[in-house]
Amino acid sequence: MEPVRLCVLVSGSGTILEAMLESGIEVTLVVSDRPCRALDVARRAGVTAQLVDRLNFGGFRSTFDREGYTVELTRVLREDRIDLVAMAGFGTIVTGAFHRAFPGRVLNTHPSLLPDFPGWHAVAATLEAGVNESGCTVHVATEALDDGPILAQRRVEVYPNDDETSLHERIKTVERTLYPTVVARVMASLAQGREPESVAGTVEES
């Protein structure tokens, strides 16, 4: 049986990548959209790391060629025969072409209990809403932002004195455990011929 080839997409410090590597997950490839510490984390672990730089496609300006970037990112992953993609703080929204290239094989983690508080500012929105719990969601990513089948969630209590930094850090702590667990579960399922949607989990307490 061929091993499942995993690519982790990163943009920042690489703490989720570190958690995956420490949990024993075999990562085939790490790709970033900008120079960042996560690429160094991969290289120190002996994992192939590649920069597909946004700057070559217009950077962060309104003229950013999102489709062209998506085509190049897809090419890089296909060239390395990637089976499964795990977004780990990846800061570029790709087009539908990427999801069509890896249908049902792109995972993401989000700092809320989806479908509540999708989007880039989920933690701030949680605090603004005044709810007493938040959490982390691991789901199959689709072209629609923070949509797709939910694989697992874990609750995190919101404390009265929380600010965005303190709450987000507690969510990240849970995320660094939950996400590697789900990725490993999905890889095992794919090796047995089952798709990620078939390994949906439940909401767990932190």
Amino acid at site 40 = D
CA distance 129 to 101: 37
**Predicted pLDDT of residue 201:** 61
pLDDT tens across 92-124, in order?
999 999 999 999 999 999 999 999 999 989 999
Check the CA dihedral 64-12-185-202 and report its sign.
negative
**Predicted pLDDT of residue 83:** 97
- In 3-state terms the chain splits into helix, strand, coil percentages (rounded to 5) of 40, 20, 40
pLDDT tops 90 at residue 196: no
Amino acid at site 33 = D
Q: Which of 99, 110, 139, 168 is catalytic?
A: 110
CA distance 71 to 79: 12
**Range 144-159 burial, b when 16+ CB lie within 10 A, else e:** eebebebbbbbebebe
> What pTM was computed for the model?
0.93
Please answer whether residues 52 and 32 qualify as being in contact, where contact means their C-beta atoms are separated by less than 8 angstroms: yes
Between strands 6-10 and 84-88, the pairing is parallel
108-206 homologous superfamily: Formyl transferase, N-terminal domain (3.40.50.170)
**Predicted pLDDT of residue 195:** 81
Please answer whether residues 193 and 145 qualify as being in contact, where contact means their C-beta atoms are separated by less than 8 angstroms: no
pLDDT tens across 117-166, in order?
999 899 999 999 999 999 999 999 999 989 999 999 999 999 999 999 99
User: Is 110 labeled as catalytic in the residue annotation?
Assistant: yes
160 preceded by a cis bond (ω within 30 of 0): no
Please answer whether residues 164 and 113 qualify as being in contact, where contact means their C-beta atoms are separated by less than 8 angstroms: no
pLDDT tens across 12-34, in order?
999 999 999 999 999 999 999 99
Percentage of the chain lying above the pLDDT 70 cut:
95
Amino acid at site 48 = T
Per-residue pLDDT band for 206 (boundaries 50, 70, 90) equals: very low
CATH code for the part of the protein at 1-103:
3.40.50.170
- Look-up: residue for tokens 């002996």? 46
Outline which parts of the chain fall under CATH 3.40.50.170: 1-103, 108-206
